[in-house]
């Protein structure tokens, strides 16, 4: 059978929807946007959904009894339902809108963590985590006296699962792991990790910031306890993200932020918290961003999810081949078949900031630095790297432009020696 993925996805079909991609940045040359792991661009449909809301459907949610408030509440709750379907969650109550992946992980660390983690308990992270999936656990450990342990990385950028069973024990309360590394692009075997962690009774939080936008996600099949992701990395606006949680876990969790909307009853003596998910959405939420995220999901859901991954894999393969011809360039991470759309590299002794600045002169946008993953960089004895990251709207020609520009960067530095 010919699947959409095997036929291949044609980025040109979609590029016209993204106003920013056709914008000449300098000298009328088009922008080559290869910084999608930092944030993606938005199609007109998402921008328009937000403009429409502000122009026609805007009031506060879950408060007013006037028709406008009811209309906005309907749109906000419809967005929750779209998220539910997109990740195959059993019920809408299991979708909590947060400010982003960082907000979602901090919510779990503060609420679930403070209620369930005690001195001597262990939290198992990995050496490839983004700071968002490290610092909240360090903070939890500081508050409770728990210990943070970690799974190491192999030289070629994969999780080393050999010591996993030795690291797991009845003391392990939580395993926090990213589904896809934001630096190496590595796709981790999260289902196996979840199964083995559950065997010792540990809860698993998966950081889906780099996976949900790019790979099919089914929380029911994964059997994951918590999944966190961000709207702005999947065509939606910044300011909104999602925490999915198993119902029994969410229902047992105390609220973290207190305020309006999250209560059933308040007296001068105390309060009764509301039901989930309202219990975790104190105050006026990111109403329009959530509705924008719903529109982003409409857009993404119309593209076969496996076709997105397959297209990005082809771009990564092409990048690995093309960059191999640039003298002195070293790609950090596993081969293309084990990666999502991320290629991170060093180029001789040229500082990544200089590389990114020179690429910018070619109108090529990449990211340089430690990418909020300092422990990972230390593991490879690096202080910084350069990262090109793709989405379904990137083209093979853009990969070639990157390779060509990098060769020129190399020549500029060789001349300076
Ligand atoms: N985890 C990973 C793997 C990420 O790539 C990012 C964003 N770079 C985050 C967490 C944090 O996401 P946000 O800034 O949207 O909260």
Q: How far, CA to CA in Å, does 406 sit from each of 84, 183, 186, 350? A: 42, 19, 23, 11
DSSP 180: B
Q: Residue 382: phi, psi to the nearest 5?
A: -125, 150
Of 102, 76, 53, 43, which is closest to residue 242 (Cα–Cα)?
A: 102
What contacts 52, CB < 8 A, 6 or more positions away?
A: none
Rounded-to-integer distance, Cα 328 and Cα 390, Å = 23
CA dihedral 106→107→111→117, nearest 10 degrees, is -30
- Is 372 assigned a catalytic role? yes
Domains detected in the chain? 11-30+305-414 (3.90.1150.10), 48-301 (3.40.640.10)
Question: CA-based diameter of the chain, in Å?
Answer: 74
Q: 342 CA to middle of ligand 1, Å?
A: 14
Rounded-to-integer distance, Cα 113 and Cα 108, Å = 6
Q: 58 CA to middle of ligand 1, Å?
A: 29
- Partners of 98 in beta bridges: 241
Place of tokens 């859901």: 301
What contacts 331, CB < 8 A, 6 or more positions away?
A: 320, 323, 324, 343, 344, 345
Q: Are 274 and 263 in contact (CB under 8 A)?
A: yes
Per-residue pLDDT of the chain (417 residues; tens, 9 = 90+): 444 445 689 999 999 999 999 886 677 778 999 999 999 999 999 999 999 999 999 999 987 789 999 999 999 999 999 999 999 999 999 999 999 999 999 999 999 999 999 999 999 999 999 999 999 999 999 999 999 999 999 999 999 999 999 999 999 999 999 999 999 999 999 999 999 999 999 999 999 999 999 999 999 999 999 999 999 999 999 999 999 999 999 999 999 999 998 999 999 999 999 999 999 999 999 999 999 999 999 999 999 879 999 999 999 999 999 999 999 999 999 999 999 999 999 999 999 999 999 999 999 999 999 999 999 999 999 999 999 999 999 999 999 999 999 999 999 988 776
Q: How many residues does the chain have?
A: 417
- Residues in the ligand 1 pocket, defined by CB under 6 Å: 37, 100-102, 130, 132-133, 178, 182, 207, 209-210, 230, 241, 372
Of 253, 247, 213, 217, which is closest to residue 230 (Cα–Cα)?
A: 213
pLDDT recorded at residue 7: 61
Place of tokens 């999947």: 234
Probe residue for ligand 1, chosen from 230, 240, 293 as the CB with the greatest number of ligand atoms within 8 Å:
230
- Whole-angstrom distance between the N-terminal and C-terminal Cα of the chain? 56
What contacts 1, CB < 8 A, 6 or more positions away?
A: none
**Atom number in ligand 1 closest to CA 100:** 16
3-state secondary structure at position 124:
strand
Q: 38 CA to middle of ligand 1, Å?
A: 8
pLDDT recorded at residue 28: 72
Query: Which residue pairs, CB below 8 angstroms and at least 24 apart, start in 165-172?
Result: 165/196, 167/124, 168/124, 168/196, 168/197, 168/199, 168/200, 168/202, 169/122, 169/200, 170/200, 170/201, 171/120, 171/121, 171/122, 172/121, 172/122, 172/123, 172/124, 172/197, 172/200, 172/201, 172/202
- Answer whether 0.85 is exceeded by the pTM: yes
Q: Are 99 and 345 in contact (CB under 8 A)?
A: no
Of 69, 92, 90, 72, which is closest to residue 80 (Cα–Cα)?
A: 92
**In this structure, is the dihedral angle defined by the CA atoms of residues 99, 102, 106 and 112, taken in order, positive or negative?**
positive
pLDDT recorded at residue 416: 72
Rounded-to-integer distance, Cα 244 and Cα 170, Å = 25
Q: Are 376 and 127 in contact (CB under 8 A)?
A: yes
Catalytic residue (choose from 147, 215, 257, 372): 372
* Cis, bond preceding 277 (omega within 30 deg of 0): yes
Q: Residue 379: phi, psi to the nearest 5?
A: -55, -35
pLDDT recorded at residue 417: 64
Q: Are 366 and 387 in contact (CB under 8 A)?
A: yes
Rounded-to-integer distance, Cα 227 and Cα 180, Å = 13
Whose C-alpha lies nearest to ligand 1, atom 12? 101
Rounded-to-integer distance, Cα 238 and Cα 46, Å = 12
Report residue 388 CA to chain centroid gap. 16
CA dihedral 98→101→107→108, nearest 10 degrees, is 130
Q: 130 CA to middle of ligand 1, Å?
A: 7
pLDDT recorded at residue 4: 45
């Amino acid at each position: 059978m010919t699947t959409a993925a095997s036929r291949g996805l044609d980025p040109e079909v979609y590029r016209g929807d993204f106003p920013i991609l056709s914008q000449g940045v300098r000298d009328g040359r088009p922008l080559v946007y290869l910084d999608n792991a930092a944030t993606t661009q938005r199609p007109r449909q998402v921008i328009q959904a937000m403009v429409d809301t502000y122009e026609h459907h805007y009031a506060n949610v879950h408060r007013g009894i006037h028709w406008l408030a009811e209309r906005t509440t309907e749109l906000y709750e419809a967005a929750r339902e779209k998220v539910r379907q997109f990740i195959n969650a059993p019920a809408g109550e299991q979708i909590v809108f947060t400010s982003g992946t960082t907000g979602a992980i901090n919510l779990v660390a503060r609420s679930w963590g403070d209620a369930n983690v005690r001195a001597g308990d262990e939290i198992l992270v990995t050496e490839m985590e983004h700071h968002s999936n490290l610092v909240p656990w360090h903070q939890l450990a500081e508050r409770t006296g728990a210990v943070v342990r970690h799974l190491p990385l192999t030289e070629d950028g994969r999780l080393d699962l050999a010591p996993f069973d030795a690291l797991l024990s009845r003391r392990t309360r939580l395993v926090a792991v990213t589904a896809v590394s934001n630096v190496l692009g590595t796709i981790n075997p999260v289902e196996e990790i979840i199964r083995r962690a559950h065997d010792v009774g540990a809860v698993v939080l998966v950081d889906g910031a780099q996976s949900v936008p790019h790979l099919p996600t089914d929380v029911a099949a994964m059997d994951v306890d918590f999944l966190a992701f961000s709207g702005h990395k999947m065509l939606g606006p910044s300011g909104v993200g999602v925490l999915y949680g198993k119902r029994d876990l969410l229902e047992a969790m105390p609220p973290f932020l207190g305020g309006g909307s999250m209560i059933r009853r308040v007296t001068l003596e105390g309060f009764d918290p509301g039901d989930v998910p309202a219990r975790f959405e104190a105050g006026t939420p990111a109403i329009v961003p959530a509705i924008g995220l719903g529109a982003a999901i409409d857009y993404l859901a119309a593209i076969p999810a496996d076709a997105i991954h397959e297209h990005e894999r082809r771009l990564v393969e092409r990048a690995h081949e093309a960059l191999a011809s640039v003298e002195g360039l070293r790609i950090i991470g596993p081969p293309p078949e084990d990666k999502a759309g991320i290629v991170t590299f060093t180029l001789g002794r040229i500082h990544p900031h200089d590389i990114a600045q020179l690429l910018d002169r070619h109108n090529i946008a990449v990211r340089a630095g430690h990418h909020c993953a300092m422990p990972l960089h230390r593991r490879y004895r690096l202080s910084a790297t350069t990262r090109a990251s793709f989405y379904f709207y990137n083209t093979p020609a853009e990969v070639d432009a990157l390779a060509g520009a990098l060769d020129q960067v190399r020549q500029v530095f060789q001349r300076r020696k």
